[in-house]
Structure 1
C-alpha cells in the first residue's frame, strides 16, 4: 500500500471489539426492504459502545491514530473545496447523478438539485419532498428516475408508511420531468415486485430501459412473494414517459441462486439483485446480487443473457455493487459486509472481508469468464462506533490506467489504482472522524463519483461535499468532459 502524507500523522491501528459472530448475526437477520426505517427518521442506532471502547477511541484520538469527532483529514493530493449541509430534507443522503452543470442527490425524504457550475460554491436549485427510501436516483435527458423501496400507502409524494402485508401498499419507480430544474414535475409511476432498491438506466434511442433491482421477498407480502430470482425491466418511451410499463422479468437464477446459510455460513441468500452496472458501449452488464456476481450481455436490453456467474463463499457476505474498467476487461465488485450497519474496517475483520473484489474478464463473446485476482480494502482502521464498508464509486477516466474513487461510509473516500489487478493500491483519501463515540452510527459518504474534474460526495449525515484531486496520475482525467453521468450507466469516456 502506497504511503500517503496526511494533514496529521495517524497509525489507524485500533483493535476491533465487535465479535465476528455478532457481525454475522447482524447480516443474517437483516430486515426486508419493507422494514426500512421510514424516510425522515434518524439513522438507526446499531448498538452501544462500551465505556472501555470509548476510552480506547479517545486515547487513539489524543495519540493521533484516528481523527477527532467530525475532524477532517486527507492526503496531501486532495483538497476539500466545500460542504453544503442538508437543507429542508433531513433524511439520509443517498446516491448521486449528474447532468451538465447540475448534480442530483437522492435523500430518504426526496431529492435535491444543485447548480455546480462553480464547484467551490454549489447552489441549491430545488428541494423536492417525496419520501420513499432509498430514493436511488438517475437522470436521462429531461427525465429523472427515483426508486422507492419502502412500503407506502400509495404512489404519491404525500404517501405514508404502510405495511408490505397490505395488498394496497405501493413500491416501485417514480418518474419526474426535470426540463424546469427549479420545478420538477412528478409525471409517472410503475409498481415493481419487491419495490425498487436501486435501478440502472439503459438508454436506447426512443426508449430508456430501467433495470430494477430488489430483493427480500416474503410469503406474507402480496406483491413480493418468493421466488424473486430476477429483475424488473421497465420500458420508458422518451416522448411519452406516462406510458412506462414493465416489459419483462428475466429469471437470472434458474437454480435459485446462492442458498446462503447454513450451506454457506455468513453469506446472503440470493433473492434478487442489489445493483447492476451497465456498459452500453460494450453491451455488457455486471450484477451484484446478494450472494452472486454476474456478467451478462445486454445486446437485447429487454432480454439480458447471462454470460458468467461467480460466488465467493469465503470472504463476500453481500454482493453490493459493480464497476467496469474502461477497457471492459475487469470488474470491481463490492461487499457490503454487515449491510451498511456495522464497523467492519478494523483489524479483527481484516483486509479481505467487507472489501472490493477485483475480477478480470477473460475470453471472448459468450465464453467470457470472471476470474478473481485480488481484494482491495482501505487500511485506515476506524473507531468501533464508525460504520465502514465498501460502497459506491466510479472510474476516473485516464487512458492506460484503471483508477477509481470510492465511498466507504465513515471510512471516507478512497482513490485507488487497480491497473495491476493483482496489486491494487490507494493513492489518495479523504475522511471525517467519528460522528460520536458512544454508539455505532450510520454516516459518511454513501457515494463518491468523479465528474468533470472534481470528486462529488453524498454524505449520509453531513450533506454534499466537493473535492479537488491534484495528482499527476489522475490529472489527465480533467480533459474528459461529460454531458451526463449516472455511475451505474458507465459511459465510454474516450468515444467523443
Structure 2
C-alpha cells in the first residue's frame, strides 16, 4: 500500500477552559504541525489536532490514555486530564482542563464519574500534592474519583489508596447496575516502599457504589499468582530479558462474557470474573523466547481471540530497528479454545508494524474496530505511529493502514493510545495532543454505522451496527 505526506492543517484554534479546581480562565491554543511532520498510507488522513496547553504542558505533563462518553473524550495526562467536545470530530475543542498531577493518568468513565489512576507517590491525595519519592515517609497513591456531570467544571470528590498505587485500572460494572468495580493493576514492589513490598502477586479491587461514590473503598486484594508467577530473566532489550511477574500491567474485561484477559508482566492470563469480587485465573501462557513484558490485552468482538502486546523496552526503546526480530516487541494473537473454566489460550501468530524506525517504537494501547465478520484493530506504537491491522485470519495478520509521525514532529514519545469511537480514530500524542484520524477503506467503513454512548478500552462489549 502506498503512503503520502500529509500537508499541514490550517492553524487550528481551540478555546481552552483551563480549570485549576479553584476557578477557570479561558485561553487560546493554536497548533501548526509543520510541513513533513508525518506520513500516512493512502487510505488514512489526519483531520484535526488539538495541542496540549498549559498547565498540562508543565508540571510533568504528558498525554496518556483516553475514555469516551457521549460527545466527549477525556484525555488523561501525567499532570491531570482534559475534556474535549468531539460533537464535530473535524473541529474538536477543549472544554476544561484539570491540573491534578500524579502519573500516569489512566482514565475511565461511567455515567457522571471519572476515575483517574495515580501511580506515583504523592505527599497527599490532593491536587496540590507534591512528589514524595522516599517510600519510608508518608505518601499517597491510588485512584481519584471526579464528578464530571458539568463538563466545564469537574469536581474532585473522593480518593482511594491502593497498594503500589494504580498504574492502570479496569472498570467492571456489576450485573445489577448498582456498583462499579475497579480492578487496579500495579507492580514494582520494593522493600524500601512502605505499602508496596514484595511479594506483590495481586491486584486491588475497589468497589464504587454508584448511588454514593464517596463510599468507594478497597474490598479485596486477591492473590493471582500464589506460585509467584514468571520468575523473569534479567537483561536488556537486545539480550531478550523477561520481566518478573510482580502484579499486572493491564486487565481487559468482557463483562457480558464474565471473562477478562490480563497482561501481567511475565504472564498472559485469562480470568473468570463471574463473581466480580473474586476473579479466578482460568489459564496462563508464557512466551519467554519472544515476549519481554506482557503489557495489554484486546478481545475480538465475540471474545474468541485475544491480542496481547509486548512492551519490549518499557516504552522508551527503539524496538522496530531492523536488527530486532519481527517476533520480538510484537503483538501476540491467541485463539480462545474451549469454554468456561476449561478455556485455553492457543498461540497463532505475531504482528509487528512493517516499518523500521530508529526512534522510540513500542507496541502500546489500542482497541477493536467494530466490523461485522472481521477482526480489525487500531493501535499506538509511540513514534512508530498508529497502525490499523486485520487479524481475522489469526495465523496471518496484516496491516491495512497507518499514520506515522516523523522525526520532524516534535516531542520524544509519540502516540500513547489510539482508539476507534463513532467513526473516527482518536489518538493521544504525549507531546502533540489529541489527533483525530480518519480511515477510508472498504474493510472498515462498515464500522461507521456503530454509535456508542460510552467507551472504555479495557471494558469490552459485543458491538453491533446501530447504537450501543
Query: How far apart are the structure 1 equivalents of 2:365 and 2:137?
Result: 33
Query: How far apart are the structure 1 equivalents of 2:457 and 2:85?
Result: 19
Per the TM alignment, residue 69 of structure 1 is displaced from its structure 2 partner at its CA by 9.1
Asked if structure 1 preserves the Cα contact closer than 8 Å seen for 2:37 and 2:409, the reply is no
Aligned to 1:144: 114
Per the TM alignment, residue 8 of structure 1 is displaced from its structure 2 partner at its CA by 5.4
Asked if structure 1 preserves the Cα contact closer than 8 Å seen for 2:422 and 2:451, the reply is yes
Q: Within 5 A, what are the aligned runs for 1:273-422?
A: 273-382=248-357, 384=358, 386-422=359-395
SS of the residue 1:154 aligns to: coil
Aligned to 1:127: 97
Higher strand share: 2
Query: How far apart are the structure 2 equivalents of 1:442 and 1:413?
Result: 15
Give the gaps of 5 or more residues in structure 2. Answer: 7-33
Higher helix share: 1
CA 1:125 to 1:262, structure 2 compared with 1: closer, same or farther past 3 Å? closer
Instruction: Describe the superposition over 1:232-269 as per-residue Cα deviations: whole angstroms up to 9, x where unpaired.
Output: 00000011111100011111101001001259960000
Per the TM alignment, residue 491 of structure 1 is displaced from its structure 2 partner at its CA by 2.1
Aligned to 2:27: none
Q: Within 5 A, what are the aligned runs for 1:422-437?
A: 422-435=395-408
Query: How far apart are the structure 1 equivalents of 2:437 and 2:40?
Result: 10
Which of 115, 123, 126 lines up with 1:153 in the alignment? 123
Asked if structure 1 preserves the Cα contact closer than 8 Å seen for 2:143 and 2:166, the reply is yes
Query: How far apart are the structure 1 equivalents of 2:149 and 2:389?
Result: 36
Moved over 3 A (4+): 262-265
Which of 58, 81, 89 lines up with 2:47 in the alignment? 81
Query: How far apart are the structure 1 equivalents of 2:412 and 2:286?
Result: 27
Per the TM alignment, residue 434 of structure 1 is displaced from its structure 2 partner at its CA by 1.5
Asked if structure 2 preserves the Cα contact closer than 8 Å seen for 1:231 and 1:273, the reply is yes
Aligned to 1:172: 142
SS of the residue 1:477 aligns to: helix
Asked if structure 2 preserves the Cα contact closer than 8 Å seen for 1:340 and 1:442, the reply is no
Per the TM alignment, residue 494 of structure 1 is displaced from its structure 2 partner at its CA by 2.0
Asked if structure 2 preserves the Cα contact closer than 8 Å seen for 1:111 and 1:135, the reply is yes
Aligned to 2:25: none
Query: How far apart are the structure 2 equivalents of 1:262 and 1:143?
Result: 41
Instruction: Describe the superposition over 1:142-164 as per-residue Cα deviations: whole angstroms up to 9, x where unpaired.
Output: 10000000110000000000124
Instruction: Describe the superposition over 1:105-161 as per-residue Cα deviations: whole angstroms up to 9, x where unpaired.
Output: 001110000000010110100000000000111100010000000110000000000
Count of aligned pairs between the two proteins: 430
Determine if the alignment matches structure 1 residue 489 to structure 2 residue 459. yes
Query: How far apart are the structure 1 equivalents of 2:98 and 2:319?
Result: 34
Aligned to 1:260: 232
Aligned to 2:22: none
Asked if structure 2 preserves the Cα contact closer than 8 Å seen for 1:485 and 1:491, the reply is no
SS of the residue 1:295 aligns to: strand
Instruction: Describe the superposition over 1:159-193 as per-residue Cα deviations: whole angstroms up to 9, x where unpaired.
Output: 00012423411110000000110000000000000
Asked if structure 1 preserves the Cα contact closer than 8 Å seen for 2:415 and 2:427, the reply is yes
Query: How far apart are the structure 1 equivalents of 2:137 and 2:123?
Result: 10
Which of 206, 210, 222 lines up with 2:182 in the alignment? 210
Query: How far apart are the structure 2 equivalents of 1:110 and 1:152?
Result: 14
Per the TM alignment, residue 480 of structure 1 is displaced from its structure 2 partner at its CA by 0.6
Aligned to 1:244: 216
Query: How far apart are the structure 1 equivalents of 2:254 and 2:117?
Result: 21
Per the TM alignment, residue 348 of structure 1 is displaced from its structure 2 partner at its CA by 0.6
Determine if the alignment matches structure 1 residue 5 to structure 2 residue 2. yes
State the TM-score, normalizing by the size of structure 1.
Answer: 0.85
Instruction: Describe the superposition over 1:19-78 as per-residue Cα deviations: whole angstroms up to 9, x where unpaired.
Output: xxxxxxxxxxxxxxxxxxxxxxxxxxxxxxxxxxxxxxxxxxxxxxxxx99621001111
Asked if structure 1 preserves the Cα contact closer than 8 Å seen for 2:136 and 2:192, the reply is no
Asked if structure 2 preserves the Cα contact closer than 8 Å seen for 1:167 and 1:223, the reply is no
Asked if structure 1 preserves the Cα contact closer than 8 Å seen for 2:5 and 2:36, the reply is no
Which of 164, 175, 182 lines up with 2:152 in the alignment? 182
Greater shift in the superposed pair: 256-265 or 341-350: 256-265
Which of 174, 196, 199 lines up with 1:224 in the alignment? 196
SS of the residue 2:355 aligns to: coil
Query: How far apart are the structure 2 equivalents of 1:329 and 1:492?
Result: 11
Per the TM alignment, residue 425 of structure 1 is displaced from its structure 2 partner at its CA by 0.1
Query: How far apart are the structure 2 equivalents of 1:447 and 1:94?
Result: 7
Greater shift in the superposed pair: 127-136 or 158-167: 158-167
SS of the residue 2:160 aligns to: strand
Asked if structure 1 preserves the Cα contact closer than 8 Å seen for 2:330 and 2:352, the reply is yes
CA 1:155 to 1:8, structure 2 compared with 1: closer, same or farther past 3 Å? closer
